[in-house]
Structure 1
Amino acid sequence: MQKTVAVLGGGIGGLSACYYLSKSPQVSKIVLLEGSGRLGGWLHSTRREDGAVAELGLESELLPVTYDHVASKNRFLFVGGQLHKMPSGLGGVVRTVPPFSQPLVLSVLKELLIGRGKEGDETVHSFVSRRLGAELADIAIDCLCRGVFAGDCRKLSVRSCFPPLFNAEQARGSIVLGMVLGSGSGPVVPSSGLAQRAQRERWAQWSLRKGMQSLPDALEDSLKGRVQIHKHTPVKELTQGPGSWESLSEQLREISMVTVAVVNLEYEGSILPVGFGHLIPSSEDRALLGVMMGGAWFQEVFGSLEEVTEKCFLDRAIQADCIPQYHLGHWKRLENIRHYIDQHKLPLSLTGASYDGVSVNDVIFSGRKSVESLVGEV
């Protein structure tokens, strides 16, 4: 029997779910309900008349950037009032490179001798401090968590935020050995020509010429005629016969979010060396993350979101509650949520950045997995 499926929310997760649902012969009707007047969620590009693209929400390099490209190699940390290029290559590992006080190879060698952790989860800072030393945790990992999650590495879960590191230790007793010898089955590369090209050329990241909003725009166009799309249609409540979903609602509300202010600057000509950008540890400036401002410290530094003036919204993209925070125990909360859905046989599947990854790629994959949990492989 074919199914009718309603998708709540037209962000990249909802659009991806619609795309995969439209490929399933088990689905006869798809209805997409979006509360705002546009699709794409946090993927929102401002296109100026001179052709410049300012990403309001998610920033990326234009088009594919490989791992050996100068923009990928040149990554900086702002420590002690100055920029420091992140160590790269063999030379950067075997010699002392500021802001670090010793060669990184020493931390790597010591890591091989550290025993496997006994906890089911651990904060990112605690995990890296234990295995690689406090300095790497305080500087490099602190910066990384602020750049990716706009969050505090002393609260974020290593199991949920960096599963390859957690799995490497669980499988091999060491991050290094896990990375070298493998810690389980690797990712399956799709057979599409584009996916094969990305692997062959070693893409580090990708974007689109007219901005990342081009992706949801193209998805919307491709879904016309196959999906009933309703904008300006916020969903207020879900009910299904007797009983209550309050327990599920409470667990979902426990996944916290942070607010980020994104400021885009453009200069005439090439006035800066090519690089990926720079990040700043919380010990330097709790509010300034690098290319973003705020995150887990938004309320403390900027005050209430309701008090920000309209002019501020026009000049700066303030993204309210835009990045979910996978705090310690996040994996267990997800386990409980999914068990509740299975136990109560709810015709419901969850997708988006709140669960298994915050990147665009993660959310697209989340859309596919949620569809397959409802209708099988697509």
Structure 2
Amino acid sequence: MLSDLGLECEILPVPHDHVASKNRFLYMNGEIHKLPSSLSGVVKTVPPFSSPIILSVMKEILVRKGKEEDESVHSFMSRRFGSELADIAMDCLCRGVFAGDSRKLSVRSCFLPLHRAEQDWGSVLLGLLLSGGGGGEKAGAGSMSALARRARAESWSQWSLTDGMQTLPDALQEALRGRERVELHHSTPVRTLTHTAGGWEIKLENGATLNADHVISALPASVLASLLPPAAAPLSHLLCEINTVSVGLVNLEYEGSVLPVTGFGHLIPSSVDKSVLGVVYDSVPFPQHNRRGEPTTRMTVMMGGAWFEETLGPPDEVKDQVLLDGALQAVRSHLNITSSPVWSRAAVLKNCIPQYHLGHWKRLEAMRQYISDHALPLTLTGASFNGVSVNDVIFSGRTAAEGLLGKL
């Protein structure tokens, strides 16, 4: 996509050997701990773990295969790798990726390669080794551009664009505007979707009405549910079962180099602090985004998620100053940064990350069966269904478009 949009020269890649790729941390027991990133870190005891991780991994081969159709991420990890890896490592990973609770999230929907490895091979370790990691489906989709081959060869762990990620949707919009058969209705909420004999009648908040043969909806599941006609109540009910969480984001900038460690950032287990999910050290992977002149340190503090209301209150009522105070306290406590930031910004991203709770896959099956049984010209895509990352939603959109083209 970046190649097609002419953005190759704008890309800022972070390869696998970059310090931001190799160094990832946890905050626990009042200290910052580096996660193992080499064999030596796996075979010896590395705090905050009480024994070598290799022992838990090797014992996993002997664990019997689970019989349940689905299982929480925490239960799965506890059963196969022990409570310590579940309580610390996987708890943090779920907070960092989904801002979610590993005790509620579905392993089948959130970490399908792990679930599939156990089901197919009886062991996660054996399954991932013998199946080549389980990530080949998306990687092999379609023809690979020269840029994609480069990214794979250099093992990019992350990337950004020279002027930030907003460049991507801006470029997409500009490219679509130039196409003769494309209409863009920017910042125009939909009021209702009505199924007609010819497809859909779409009423917009500005009073306009559009007609479509087929709708690909990338709306959040609950928003789409509110737009569907009463006749589609069973589908709306299923859509409403997909919960979301809100995240407080606080961006901080300090004069000079103030980080005691360098790397991607650190996460905090829910047992240590439910309110603060983690801190990303933005200036380490992308110093190009720093302001010109004297060096500065930028970081982003993530807060709330599945614990937002419990620790911060209703998202509509939380003041920016409350988020800022909490973020500054975390930075002081975790990183011993006592100076005041030269710039800061706080915001609440409401209902921004869908939560794939237990049974998510079954809900998706029921939705698609309903759409098929009722011959609805509707395709579901976006973060609510098959992955919450930028890569996931782009792939989901591409799959939706290709599926529709196959019917024409």
TM-score (norm 2): 0.75
Structure 2 letter corresponding to 1:278: H
1:377 CA displacement? 8.8
Distance 2:48 2:321 in 1: 38
- Look up the match of 2:157: 204
Q: Which residue of 1 aligns with 2:55?
A: 106
1:325 aligns with 2:355: yes
Q: Residue 136 of structure 2: which of 172, 186, 191 is its match?
A: 186
CA deviation digits over 1:35-67, x for unaligned, max 9? xxxxxxxxxxxxxxxxxxxxxxxxxxx821122
Residue 371 of structure 1 pairs with residue 401 of structure 2: yes
2:18 matched to 1:63?
no
Amino acid at match of 1:356: N
Cα deviation per residue 1:57-112 (whole Å; 9 max; x = unaligned)? xxxxx821122211111100001111100012110011000000000110011001
Residues in 1 aligned to 2:167 and 2:121: alpha-carbon distance in whole angstroms = 42
Report Cα offsets for 1:327-347 as digits up to 9, x if no partner: 010000001011111111111
Q: Which amino acid aligns with 1:328?
A: L
Whole-angstrom distance in 1 between the partners of 2:320 and 2:60 = 50
- 1:167 alignment counterpart: 116
**1:300 matched residue in structure 2:** 310
Q: Which amino acid aligns with 1:284?
A: V
* Residue 134 of structure 1: aligned partner: 83
Deviation at 1:170, TM superposition (A): 1.1
- Going from structure 1 to structure 2, the CA distance change for 1:286 and 1:369 (only over 3 Å counts) comes to same
- Picking from 180, 183, 189, the partner of 1:234 is 189
Q: CA deviation at 1:373?
A: 2.3
| Equivalences for residues 147-158 of structure 1 within 5 A | 147-158=96-107
Moved more, 264-273 or 355-364: 264-273
CA distances 1:257-282 after superposition (whole Å, capped 9, x unpaired): 00000111112222223201000000
| Runs of at least 5 residues in structure 1 that lack an aligned partner in the other structure | 1-15, 21-61
Assess, with a 3 A threshold, how the Cα gap between structure 1 residues 310 and 129 changes in structure 2: closer, same or farther. closer
Q: Deviations over 1:160-216 (max 9, x none)?
A: 000111111111111110111007682343420111111111111111121111110
Does residue 306 of structure 2 align to residue 356 of structure 1? no
CA distance in 2, matches of 1:229, 1:296: 34
Q: Distance in 1 between matches of 2:65 and 2:316?
A: 46
Q: Distance in 1 between matches of 2:16 and 2:85?
A: 22
* 1:281 and 2:252 matched: no
Correspondence for 2:375: 345
* Distance in 2 between residues matched to 1:297 and 1:120, nearest whole Å: 27
**How far is the alpha carbon of 1:376 from its aligned partner?**
1.8
Partner of 2:220: none
| 8 A Cα contact 2:320 2:347, kept in partner | no
| DSSP-derived class of the 2:257 partner | coil
| Alpha-carbon distance between aligned partners in 1 of 2:357 and 2:23, rounded to the nearest angstrom | 30
What are the ranges of 5 or more consecutive residues in structure 2 without an aligned counterpart? 5-10, 198-229, 280-301, 324-343
RMSD across aligned C-alpha pairs, in angstroms?
2.1
The aligned length equals: 319
SS at match of 2:303: strand
Change (3 A) 1:284 1:185: closer
Question: Aligned pair 1:260/2:281, yes or no?
Answer: no
| 4+ residue runs over 4 A deviation | 309-314
> For the residues of structure 1 that align with 2:177 and 2:356, how far apart are their CA atoms?
35
Q: Counterpart amino acid of 1:90?
A: L
Secondary structure at 1:63's aligned position in 2? strand
Equivalent pair of 2:251/2:345 in contact (CA under 8 Å): no
Q: Structure 2: how far apart are the matches of 1:223 and 1:377?
A: 23
SS in 1 for 2:192: coil
1:125 to 67, 74, 77: 74
Q: CA deviation at 1:303?
A: 1.3
Partner residue in 1 for 2:257: 270
